[in-house]
Amino acid sequence: MKSKFKILFYTLLFLLSVSPGYTQEFRPASYSMHMDSILFWLIFILFVIILCGALLLKERVKDSTTHLLKEDSDHEEKPLESHLHRLNLEQITRLLKIKKKGTTLLLFIFGISYFSSTTPLMGQTAASTVNRSNLLEQAGILITIFLILIPILLGIILLIIKTKKRLKTLAKFQDNVAAEKLSTFLEDIPLEKIAPQLEERKKALSYQVAQRTLSGTAQAADERGLLQPYESVGVPIVSAKKKAVPRPNIDPQLSKLILWYLVSATIWLLFGTTVGEYIGIKFIAPDLDSVSWLSFGRLRPVHTNSVFWGWASIAMIGLSYYVVPRVSNTTIYNLKWGWITLILLNTCALAGSISLMAGINNGGGEYREYIWPIMLLFAIALVLTCLNFYKTIAMRTTREVYISNWYILSAVIFTIVIALVAYIPFWQQGLGETIVQGYYMHQGVGMWFMLLTLGLVYYFLPQQLNKPIYSYSLGVLAFWTQILFYTLIGSHHFVFSAIPWWLQTVAIVGSAGMVIPVVAGTTNFLMTFKGSWYKVGDSYTLPFFLVGIIFYFSGSLQGTAEAFRNTNLLWHFTDFTVAHSHLTMYGIICFLLWACIYAVVPRLTGKEAPQVTVGAHFWLALIGLLFYTIPLMYGSTLKGLLWMDGKPFIEGVAFMMPHWLWRAVGGSLMWISHLFFAYNMYRMLVYPKTSDIRQQAIDKLEANLHTIEHTK
């Protein structure tokens, strides 16, 4: 921990030493970012990366060297018998079997020779000094330094990779040596000496608490010492987060399919939000480039559609492939259809992104910029998904259809209808297209993303709390009222337009009616937390659920407030709508999807993400979202007042400049959090497990015994 604080201190010191002072007064109307400033900050960022990399490399080598030396000394100082107390149930069973079997082959065992060697770990520390000079103000020198730093940075990255690989090799070598020693010790020790101890340990590990041991109103007590009752009622104090409970009965092929869905979704999240980060920077530096493929008008739909149809849709369907068969207590109907669906979804998002950047689009409205042949791939994927889920639910071995499957299957069915309405040209004429656009846009959010995500929450939230949902009736109420009201509200985006006044009024009434499902769903989720609030501090999934539920309530009711005519006149067509869409799609959908992913992936792979990086993901995403939305809502309210006072449009643009800067800062934090999420996915998927010396030692014993048996 001291080393991390030292690195942070050095970095802050470096920041203070090289950061230029700006005395020029901030002018909102100044949009251009000077070339020298861009080059300076690029070089500055490279210096910070190099400094942090060098310090981290130094600390990593130091810590690893200390760990390896300490580990070696521990094996010399501590008796090998201590490993007997740390064997798990499977290892004890295997060891007893080996020892009992090995007794009959004692004459054939001469011994096992073992070796030990130490490899000196050489570390080289290079000191570097950063010289500041007025020459840095010249663009030519900045470009030269930048070009020089590129190979240096690549060299440092290569050095870090090589060093990490070397340290991993040394650690593996040390573990093999320790396992060899332990294997020899376990083979030489007489069975009579350790049998009673191992049998007692095996009996303790095999013991299970009776079903009603922890129930009832009597004082908690257990003669075996498994329970530690509190003397007084109070808030439980917890420290480390709990690990995911392994679920060994999951079909490996289904697990592979789900993980591929989630990996694909993560890639689209990184791509889509990287595009969003770039266009967010363009708000404060619109002359950043002059490439047509990177223009704001083309990149904006690339951002929205890739995170909608790439990230969120693929993640939701992938998680549904876990939930639907599990709550139906059966297997998925057709795994092959799942793979075809995944290919179609990825092809749709990829082809759509390329076509939008090339300037080929539908031009029919927001979120339906994909041309119909590309969107047809998405529709086919939905039909396959609908049939697969329907057949799976039909094969269920449970009597009832759990409410998660209600939400999931309904969302898929509604989205098929939405896609047909949006792309069939029969009613795409004049005001009909406007009405269809409002219907499609809002149903896509409410009847696809929201409905399906809520279905996932109805499964994963009770699972993580280890208790049933608070009220099934509230869930049914929220389900049917959402279907009733949400299908009416699309036209509230076109208040004061040429569409019929009565249709606008119906949309406003439907928006007000959305209070019922939102309050019912939020109450249901929060009451499920009742009696288990202390678990929030003991879990790294529940905070994501809690934030998503809070934004579900606040963001949804904010949408209701925006629908009324007076607030619509003030806020609509300003950045308030942008803030609201991120508050809902990001604050609700993304946080709930992340919660579900962090809940299910460790169960599929048996690997946990580091709690530090999960925490970094959570707080950067939350703080970034607040930095993004609150300034936009505040500035857009004042901007709307300027418009209502008849001020020129350009005056509102200049007024929003500082708020767009906050938008870029918040978006940058959100984007960084996605890098942490991608790293967490890597750790949960492919990061190697920590080696178990005791497991290696028993494996060696079994191999030796097997060899002797074949020799005999």
Concatenating the DSSP letter of every residue in 89-157 gives HHHHHHHHHHHHHHHTTGGG-------------------------GGGGSHHHHHHHHHHHHHHHHHHH
The mean pLDDT value of the chain amounts to: 80
What integer pLDDT is reported at residue 29 of this predicted model? 41
DSSP 372-387: HHHHHHHHHHHHHHHH
Q: Judge residue 249's burial from the number of C-beta atoms within 10 Å of its C-beta, 0-12 exposed, 13-18 middle, 19 or more buried.
A: exposed
If one counts every other C-beta atom within 10 angstroms of the C-beta of residue 70, the result is: 10
Give the whole-angstrom CA distance, residue 601 versus residue 173.
30
Question: What pLDDT was estimated at residue 121?
Answer: 38
C-alpha span between 222 and 211 (Å, rounded):
13
47 closest CA partner among 137, 149, 131, 148:
149
Strand boundaries in 542-609, DSSP class E: none
Position 139 scores a pLDDT of 56
Q: Of 636, 533, 539, 625, nearest to 588 (Cα)? A: 625
Sign of CA pseudo-dihedral 26, 32, 36, 40: positive
Structure confidence by residue, pLDDT tens digits, 545-574: 999 999 999 999 999 999 999 999 999 889
Q: Read off the tokens for 363.
A: 């031009």
Residues of the chain with pLDDT under 70: 1-49, 51-91, 95-96, 98-149, 206-248, 687-692, 708-712
**Which strand (E) or helix (H) includes residue 696?**
helix 693-711
pLDDT at 58: 66
Position 543, amino acid:
P
Is this model's pTM higher than 0.85 or not?
A: no
How far apart CA 652 and CA 430 sit, in angstroms, is 30
- What pLDDT sits at residue 428? 79
Residue 331: its pLDDT value, please?
A: 93
